[in-house]
Structure 1
């Protein structure tokens, strides 16, 4: 049992959100910087190298979907059990997280071994792209243990209100990656020149460093949850509770992978440069979306804790303040995409063709940023209170039911029109999100 009330139940909401979110937002910004630096160096190799990494992106998205989705379920369950004062159940959820991370790693190790080359051959006949892409995907998948274990420990600590160690672990991983990227890609300091494979090796080493740091923290420091395998018993009801929230989150993000595959299939019909541009867009938009996701990392345990503690006033204040902050961040991002799109693209050594198709693309897609801020907030609420299926429905609507069909139809008019599928899909999903939130409020939040 806790000796004192957790700060998530007592501290003023706005300072609480800032204290919980700023460390996560900073670490996510570092992650975004890594994404850009990684692609910056890869683009220096060749546009084919950038295309290879862009084609591998959906598989990385699937990997991250499984890792993050599982960890979201752990975060939600641990924070709710702490709010309910069920300490042993919180400890059990955290311990199960380590086992689930190891199991998920084994799945993707097999994916990397068996499916890397066939995946690339299904998209292109360019042997250089196939070779580089296969190397990159194999390494990232087979040596993915670091990310699966690290992120589950990270979300467990965040569920207790501890945001500093997760921030430090993400910064450690990203900075390690940034330092090693040019060394392994271009063969500096006596290291062999490895090109795209070097970028993958730098990535997994950064993930392993982050994992080892958090394992040390869990073993050596005191926390509000205890991860221990002493007298541990596998509890399938705990796994079920984790994935009742986590599975919809996994599917939500996996749908993102399906969306990218579908968009790549549409775009490659115009030019391979369009595929490379789409990959560049995802790197750039991470600077806008990552801080919002960091904000949500701080907001989710606050909502989950106060939902478990039946504190409706604090829960609703968190939703309101979180929405305002995320809208401001997205508005700033929209302004940047409209004011300096060419400068953003030139970071990636953009060709004249990429600039020609990329500037209007960034203008158009960024229209969806502000509506997306509210959509992300509503999805976070659904996950935090254990209603992750609502988030799943919204994600399916946004990325499959609306976006891909709209992009396919608009592609018949021309490439510049394809990008309008993004604001169309975001508008439709926001309307559905508002409807679901009102239903949730009437059925579960109003009576807290």
Structure 2
């Protein structure tokens, strides 16, 4: 059974074959893998909420924006390396492919050391700046300190799995994720319930599981000798390779970093609304992750597909794939949103049995249902543009709608909805502002995409002849 699955959905050369078939074969394992990734964090939240309590669940939630603020560098390098590997693989340039893999490994090792050294001592101060509720502060500090000490595991997994995806390989990362989800669950229960390590146990379980994932991905890459053989000299940083990683990665890291800062500002507003609201939103974010899975998954698929075909110089095939991946993503998203609306209460009950939390959470879901549809436009078209080598456009769009619209609007709506029941403002303001930002982002992304400037950003073929801009929509 497993051999048949690997044979059907194994490494994909997306420069040949029907776009729908290529994208489906690549996306199915990736989607299952992302579901497993969500289960990875969801299990943490369920076990923390059930065995420790709502305060610990809230601590995990308030820690997330700070964690993302530093870990965006890993995700940015991973995103850049995926595009570079896909383009070099599509162009059959195995020398630069090997240098990219080696340089990315060295770069992530350096970044890991810097993040651990910088983030660990800042943890307490950042939590205080975010108005973290007293009930959750100490647990949030302990949770973040451990995660930052083990940041390397997260970093290497992001980059090494990105390399595999760039090569069209989505099955192996899936198998690794399934294995580590099981391991994470076992360690969570053992550390939290058996050894009574509290929230620190959940953090250690996450670090150990991520580190094992990274090691297994590295072993897989080292064994792909038919494509490239990694040599020690490839680990030496090369100006051209690092330059491409920086050019593609800095816009992504700035985008994610600014989004994390904006999320911290919004989280500060959330924290001021009280313990009930922070607990509700923490639980919602775990459920919300499943709704954004299609957009995230097909954004990666679009990026890899576009990267390989841009490297091969086939922009007509990119046009065909863009249309295909958009409709695939839209269908999957509608199904996930419908499931959330129908079974949301049961989902919330996995994290807490507090009726007020469940009622408030369902109200948030009804607002967010429309935002998830807007995300399809944002993520798919941004994925195509990043795959072609344009990461600046998506960055400015994302930064603009979050900094200029989402954060100020959240505070304005909260200010004008203050009442005796909600002295800091109605918590719905958080999600109305997010909906407005998603819709505005979708409109701007479509306009930028149709202008077609992204089509000439390839690191392989910067002067590529391409179809008319209108034809690429």
The Cα RMSD (Å) is 2.0
The CA deviation at 1:121 is: 3.0
Within a 5 Å distance, the mapping from 1:19-418 to structure 2 comes to 19-44=25-50, 45-124=52-131, 128-186=135-193, 188=194, 192-230=195-233, 233-412=236-415, 413=417, 414-418=426-430
Q: Deviations over 1:63-120 (max 9, x none)?
A: 4421111011011112112223322111111111101111121122113431122222
Q: Contact conserved, 1:160 with 1:225, CA < 8 A, in 2?
A: no
Q: In 2, distance between residues paired with 1:384 and 1:442?
A: 9
**TM value normalised by structure 2:** 0.88
Partner of 2:439: 427
SS in 1 for 2:272: coil
- The 3 A distance-change label for structure 1 pair 383 and 350 is farther
SS at match of 1:224: coil
Tell me by how many angstroms 1:441 deviates: 6.0
Task: Output the CA distance in 2 between the equivalents of 1:223 and 1:393.
Answer: 39
Q: Which residue of 2 aligns with 1:14?
A: 20
Give the whole-Å Cα distance in 1 for the aligned partners of 2:234 and 2:351. 52
Shift, 1:344, TM fit: 2.1
* Cα displacement (A) at 1:354: 1.5
| Preserved CA contact (<8 Å) 1:268 1:275 | yes
Give the stretch that moved more between structures: 341-350 or 398-407: 341-350
Of the structure 1 ranges 337-346 and 302-311, higher mean CA displacement relative to structure 2 is found in 337-346
Distance of 1:361 and 1:308 partners within structure 2: 43
* Structure 1 pair 344–256 and aligned structure 2 pair: CA distance change class (3 A): farther
Deviation of 1:28 after TM superposition, in Å, equals 0.6
Q: Is the 8 A contact 2:291 2:340 kept in 1?
A: no
- Cα distance change, pair 231–316 in 1 and its aligned pair in 2 (3 A): closer
Cα contact 1:111–1:141 (8 A) shared by 2: no
2: CA distance between counterparts of 1:341 and 1:443? Answer: 41
Aligned partners of 1:303 and 1:385 also within 8 Å: yes
CA distance in 2, matches of 1:231, 1:339: 52
List alignment gaps of at least 5 residues for structure 2.
Answer: 1-11, 418-425, 457-465
- 1:225-266 deviation digits (Å, cap 9, x = unpaired): 333223654212211111212122222222332232112211
Task: State the alpha-carbon separation in 1 of the partners of residues 53 and 429 from structure 2.
Answer: 28
Tell me if structure 2 keeps the 8 A contact 1:21–1:299: no
Q: Which runs of 5+ in 1 are unaligned?
A: 1-5
- In structure 1, what is the Cα distance between the partners aligned to 2:186 and 2:112? 25
- Per the alignment, do residues 349 and 264 of structure 1 end up closer, same or farther by CA in structure 2, a change over 3 Å counting? same
Does residue 440 of the first structure (1) align with residue 452 of the second (2)? yes
After superposition, the Cα gap between the structure-2 partners of 1:431 and 1:396, relative to the gap in structure 1 and judged at 3 Å, is same
Residue correspondences, number: 439
SS of corresponding position for 1:198: helix
SS at match of 1:349: coil
1:83/1:216 CA distance change after superposition, 3 Å: closer
